[in-house]
Structure 1
Amino acid sequence: MLPDGTVIANYDNPDVISIREQLGDFDYGSQPQDTGRVEYKEMVLLENGAKYEGFWLYGVGIRQGQGIQIWPDGSMYEGWWKDNKANGKGRLIHADGDIYDGYWKDDKAHGYGIYSHLDGARYEGYWKEDKQHGDGLETWPDGASYKGDYVEGKKHGQGMFTWADGSTYQGEFNENNIEGQGVYKWSDGRVYQGEWKNNKMEGYGVFVWPDGRKYEGEWKNGKQHGIGVYTSASGKTKKGQWSEGKRVAWLN
C-alpha cells in the first residue's frame, strides 16, 4: 500500500500461484444448479478491483456458473457462482496461504468443507455462514485434536479433545469450555469422571490415581470440596470432609 492509501495490486501473488500448482486444477464436479443461459468471458476487471474469468448470465453482468476470481492481494477463488456470489463447490486460496475447499452459500463457507492453515492447523467438517457448525475434526501441528460438535464456530455439545501429551477429555463442551459431564484421562494414568464447570472439576465426580487410590464426592473450582469418600491404595475407605482440596475432618 502506498502512503496515499493506494493498494498495489498483486494478482500474480507467487505464494498463491505456488500453492495452486501444488494442489492442481480445481475439480468443479457436477453442476450444482440450473445456471440458465450463460456466456463465457476472458478475464474482466471488476469495480472492486478483483479480476474474474468465467461464465456470466447471458446479457447481464452477473457471475453465474464456473469461474475464477483473483483479488488485488492475489487471493484466488475457483468454483461455482450464482447471482454474483460464490455458491456451490469452490476453493479459496488466501493471500496468506490458508485454503478453504468445500461448499459455499452467498460468499460464505456453508456445508461440508476443509480449511487448512499455512501453519498446519486444519478443520474438516461442517460450516454455517463462515463458522464451524455441526460435526467436525480439528487438528493442530503439535498433535492436539478435537472431534465433535460445533455451534456457531465454537466447540459445543459432545466431543473429544486430545492434547499433545496424550491426555484426553471426552464429554460435554459449552462454548469452547469443558462443562457438563465428562471423563478426563491424564497421560500419567489419572482419571476423573464427573461434572465440570468452566474447564474445572465442579460438582460430583470420581478421581482415580494410577496406584488405586480414589476420591468420590464433591468438587469445586477443580478441588475436592465438601463430603467425599476416600479409598486408599490398599482398598480401605473413609468418609470425610474437604475444603479447597484439603481434608478438614474424617466423618467415620
Structure 2
Amino acid sequence: MSKPIHGPIRPNVNPLAINRHSHIRNAAKWQLKDALALKNGPHATVYMINGDQYLGEWKGNLKHGNGTYFYRKNGSVYEGEWQNDMRHGYGTFSVPKEPSDDISEPTAQLRKVYAGEWQNDKRHGFGTHYYEDGSHYEGHWENNMKEGWGKMFYIDGSVYEGEWHEEKRQGQGILLLANGDRYEGMWMDDLKEGPGKYIYKQKRQSYHGEWVKGLPKCGTLIDLPPLPGQRPKKFPIPHIKLVDPDRILSDEREAILEDRWQRMMDMAEGHELESEGELDDE
C-alpha cells in the first residue's frame, strides 16, 4: 500500500542552479531557463570571439567581482575588480616584457604598468603607473589622467611632488633635481610659472621671485652662506646700486602678472573651443 504524500510535489531542481540563482522565486520554466543561460558567480575560463580570455566572477552575463582578463591582441593582462563589465575598483594592468609572436596563451613574462584604483574602465583614484623608460608616478588620477596630488620619479633621479592637472604639473609643487638643485613654487602647463624659490646647490646661490615659462624673470639672487669647512666665495654677487630697486621689481612683476593673466584667458578660451568642437563631432 503506497504511503500518502503530504504537501505539494516539488519538481527536480538542480541544486547548483538554486545556489547560483537564489534570487529567483516562483519563476516560470522559461524564465528559469533564461536565467540559467546567464553567467552568474564564478566561472571557468570563458573564451571570447576575438580570442580574449576571462577567468573570474560574473553577474547577469557581465564581468562583475574579481577576475583576470587576457587580451589576445597585445598579450596584456588585467587582474582585479570588475563592475558591470568594466574595470572598477582595485586592479593591476600588465603588458608583456618583450613582444612575442606567440600570444595564443597568457604569458608569465609581464611588466606591471598600473596598479591602483579604477572607475568605469579608467584609472581613477589613487594608483601607481610604471613607465617603460623606468620612471614611475604614484598619486591621484581622474578620468585616466594624472590629476590632483602626486609624486613623479624620473629616470634621471629627479623627483617632483605636488599638484597635477590633466597630466601636467600645475599648481604648487617641489622639484628636487638629480644634481641637488631644488625648486619650490608654482607651476602652470608643466613649466615653472609664478612665484618660486630655486636653490643652486653647487653655486650656493638662491633665487626668489617670479618665473615665466620655466625661466626666472623677476626676483632676487643671493649668495648662500658657505657650508662648514668651505671658504667664502672669491667673487660674490655684487650689491645693487640702484636708487629704487624695489620699485623696479614691483613694476616688472605687475607687467608679468598682466601677461600671465592674458595667457591664462587664452588657454581657457582654447579649451572652450575644443569642447565645442567635440560636441559638434557628436
Question: Under a length normalisation based on structure 1, what TM-score does the superposition of the two structures give?
Answer: 0.70
Question: Does structure 1 retain, via aligned residues, the 8 Å contact 2:117–2:127?
Answer: yes
- 1:89 is matched with 66
- Bigger relative contact order, structure 1 or 2, given CA contacts below 8 A and separation 6+? 1
For residues 5-154 of structure 1, the aligned pairs below 5 Å read 35-37=20-22, 58-60=32-34, 61-67=37-43, 68-95=45-72, 96-119=74-97, 120-154=111-145
- 2:205 is matched with 213
CA offsets 1:168-201 (integer angstroms, 9 cap, x no match) = 1000001111000000111111111000001100
Q: Secondary structure at the match of 2:187?
A: strand
Alpha-carbon separation, structure 2, partners of 1:84 and 1:168: 45
Q: 1:229 aligns with which of 220, 235, 240?
A: 220
Kindly state the Cα deviation for residue 232 of structure 1 after the two structures are TM-superposed.
2.7
Question: Does structure 2 retain, via aligned residues, the 8 Å contact 1:121–1:141?
Answer: no
Could you tell me which amino acid in structure 1 is paired with residue 92 of structure 2?
I
Unaligned runs of at least 5 residues, structure 2: 1-18, 24-30, 98-110, 225-232, 253-282
- C-alpha RMSD of the superposition: 2.4
Alpha-carbon separation, structure 2, partners of 1:107 and 1:37: 22
Give the percent of matched residue pairs that are identical in Structure 1 and Structure 2. 30
- 2:272 is matched with none
Kindly state the Cα deviation for residue 121 of structure 1 after the two structures are TM-superposed.
4.6
Kindly state the Cα deviation for residue 214 of structure 1 after the two structures are TM-superposed.
1.1
Kindly state the Cα deviation for residue 35 of structure 1 after the two structures are TM-superposed.
4.1
From the two aligned structures, give the one with the greater helix fraction: 2
Alpha-carbon separation, structure 2, partners of 1:148 and 1:141: 18
Question: Does structure 2 retain, via aligned residues, the 8 Å contact 1:92–1:100?
Answer: yes
Bigger Rg, which one: 2
Q: Secondary structure at the match of 2:40?
A: strand
Unaligned runs of at least 5 residues, structure 1: 1-33, 39-56, 244-252
- 1:6 is matched with none
Kindly state the Cα deviation for residue 73 of structure 1 after the two structures are TM-superposed.
3.4
Alpha-carbon separation, structure 2, partners of 1:35 and 1:133: 32
Could you tell me which amino acid in structure 2 is paired with residue 161 of structure 1?
M
CA offsets 1:80-130 (integer angstroms, 9 cap, x no match) = 100110000010011111110000011100000001122435111000001
Question: Does structure 2 retain, via aligned residues, the 8 Å contact 1:35–1:82?
Answer: no
Question: Does structure 2 retain, via aligned residues, the 8 Å contact 1:121–1:140?
Answer: no
